[in-house]
Amino acid sequence: MNTSVGSKTLAEHIKDGFDVLREFTSIREFSGLLQELWSLPLDQRAAFVSDVILNERELEARAIRVPADIKLLRSAFRDNRPTLFCVVRYLPEGFGWSKVTITCDNPSGPPALPYSNVAHRFHREVETQSQKYFQVVGFPLLYD
């Protein structure tokens, strides 16, 4: 694994990526969108994500401009946590680690996208990248 692209290490790119995501998710308009999401009953939130958060026209109507280097996506996890959507920023190529992610989850209930629907696409990435991240950044592995 390449630990440096240019003068930055993987850990620096991960930190920078999270800083960019934190900045975007903290803007007033996006915070308002999240307040709108959290005000809904649990069982209506997945539809709100599909209809509003993943809809460019709805975001524009709320004065939210998603930067080109950030993506709003559905995602699934092996533990089937009740994830509604993710805010993702891709890292430069060459690290063997592709992205940083902030997830927005319901406190309970089924995931909007069950892992079994996408597991075949991500099996190898899940096995290798989570281990690499925690080794590079220095965190203990928190999940299998």
How do the domains of the chain map onto residue ranges? 8-137
Cα angle 71, 75, 80 (rounded to 5 degrees) comes to 160
d(CA 135, CA 129): 10
pTM: 0.74
Tens place of pLDDT for every residue, the chain, 144 residues? Answer: 454 555 678 889 899 999 999 999 999 999 999 999 999 999 999 999 999 999 999 999 999 999 999 999 988 788 888 999 999 999 887 777 789 999 999 998 888 888 788 777 655 555 555 444 444 444 333 333
Q: How does 94-133 read in b/e, with b if 16+ C-beta sit within 10 Å?
A: ebebeebbbebbbeeeebbbebeeeeeeeeeeeeebbeeb
